[in-house]
Amino acid sequence: MDKLISPLSPILDNSDLIALAPYAKHLGKAPKKAQRSQPSGQHQRQVKGHGMEMMELRQYQIHDEFRHIDWRVTARTGVPHTRIYAQENEHKRLLMLDISGVGYFGTQHTFISTRMAQVASLIAWRTQIQHDSLGYCLSFGDQIHQKSYTHNKKLFSLLISHLADATHIQHRAVPSTLEPWNALYKTSSIKQQNVIILSDRLTLSTADLKSIAQLAKHNYLHWIKITDNNAQRLPSGQYLMEDTNGLKWLSVSQMKVKAQLEAQNALFKKQLNELGAYVHQYDLHESPVDIARHLLTIGAIH
């Protein structure tokens, strides 16, 4: 069994995450024009640099910058046209990790929290390899760690340590109380960049939606959701479950559980799409490298 998919323990250390660096380097090249499906209700601006290479010439759209209008083509055609330039070499990326407690679970391979830490590490390594700027806000247990954009190697090592710490099961006993998007709600400088959120949240509060809407308004917001599809296949019967409120018996009907999860996921995705966020859902059995490669293909990372 692939040790990336099924590590010996769901608790990772720094060496496990450092070992992901070569995988991040060889993910491949990002497409020149990533395919982005437009979520319902999206009104955010596309990030464009003003490099020397012009990417395309098209009719002016209301969100285009006035200074990029091609006046010669506009005069010749009688229709306003805009020059779209290739993105600048450096991209800014904000990485958010949110483990509320339910992520410290998995029926096979490993825990959801472990896979989230692996994917977050691959994103971090890829950002550093591409010499891009990375900011992060991590929330798990009673901890929250936040840093602005930097190329400092010591701070990057600290990020790897935080991600490894996030996999420790002890944090399950103290569910996270401060979501990273709410911690950054009043940060007005987060604009025109890729914001990547890895979260195990099953529902979103009104405060969550308000903060996420603010982030999605000025950025490309990618929400990564990792689920354990095996959980939908639990045989019918009585189960003793434990959550933050303690132990309790639950009567499980396979058809009922599947229907509830499908409805919950549909509502979750609809809420985020209406705010302009891209939702990407992966199963726990998928390799973290395959997940990162897909994020590269769709333009979430470069």
In terms of domains, do 65 and 123 share one?
A: no
Task: Return d(Cα 67, Cα 270) in angstroms, integer.
Answer: 36
The answer to whether the CB of 132 falls within 8 A of the CB of 161 is no
Q: Distances in Å between the alpha carbon of 65 and those of 85, 92, 150, 191, 217? A: 11, 20, 28, 15, 17
- What pLDDT is stored for residue 45 in this prediction? 37
CATH code, domain carrying 142: 3.40.50.410
Question: What tokens does 70 get?
Answer: 């091609």
Q: In the predicted model, is pLDDT for residue 245 greater than 90?
A: no
- What pLDDT is stored for residue 49 in this prediction? 44
- What pLDDT is stored for residue 5 in this prediction? 94
In terms of domains, do 72 and 217 share one?
A: no
In terms of domains, do 154 and 71 share one?
A: no
In terms of domains, do 72 and 162 share one?
A: no
In terms of domains, do 291 and 174 share one?
A: yes
Q: In the predicted model, is pLDDT for residue 150 greater than 70?
A: no
In terms of domains, do 120 and 149 share one?
A: yes
pLDDT digit string, tens, across residues 23-74: 999 998 877 655 444 454 443 334 444 444 555 687 887 667 777 888 988 8
In terms of domains, do 24 and 114 share one?
A: yes
Closest CA to 111 of 173, 164, 159, 167: 167
In terms of domains, do 161 and 61 share one?
A: no
pLDDT digit string, tens, across residues 186-229: 555 677 788 999 999 988 999 999 999 988 888 899 999 999 88
In terms of domains, do 69 and 143 share one?
A: no
Question: What tokens does 165 get?
Answer: 């710490």
Average pLDDT for 69-90? 78
- What pLDDT is stored for residue 273 in this prediction? 93
Mean pLDDT score across all residues of the chain:
82
In terms of domains, do 65 and 171 share one?
A: no
| 252: Cα separation from own chain's centroid | 31
Q: Give the range among 159-168, 174-183, 264-273 with minimum mean pLDDT.
A: 174-183
Total of domains in the chain: 2
Q: What is the DSSP string of the chain?
A: --TTTS-S-SS--HHHHHTTHHHHHTS-PPPSS------TT--PPPP----SSEEEEEE--TTS-GGGB-HHHHHHHSS-EEEEEPPPS--EEEEEEEE-STTS--SSSS-HHHHHHHHHHHHHHHHHHTT-EEEEEEEETTEEEEEEEE--HHHHHHHHHHHHHTT-GGGGGS---S-HHHHTTT-TT--SSEEEEEE--SS--HHHHHHHHHHHHHSEEEEEEEE-GGGGGPPSEEEEEEETTEEEEEEE-HHHHHHHHHHHHHHHHHHHHHTTEEEEEEETTS-HHHHHHHHHHTTS--
> Considering the domain boundaries, does residue 69 fall inside one?
yes
Q: Give the range among 74-78, 81-85, 239-243 with minimum mean pLDDT.
A: 239-243
> Considering the domain boundaries, does residue 5 fall inside one?
no
> Considering the domain boundaries, does residue 46 fall inside one?
no
- What pLDDT is stored for residue 88 in this prediction? 47
Domain span at residue 27? 14-31+90-297
Q: What pTM does this model have?
A: 0.77
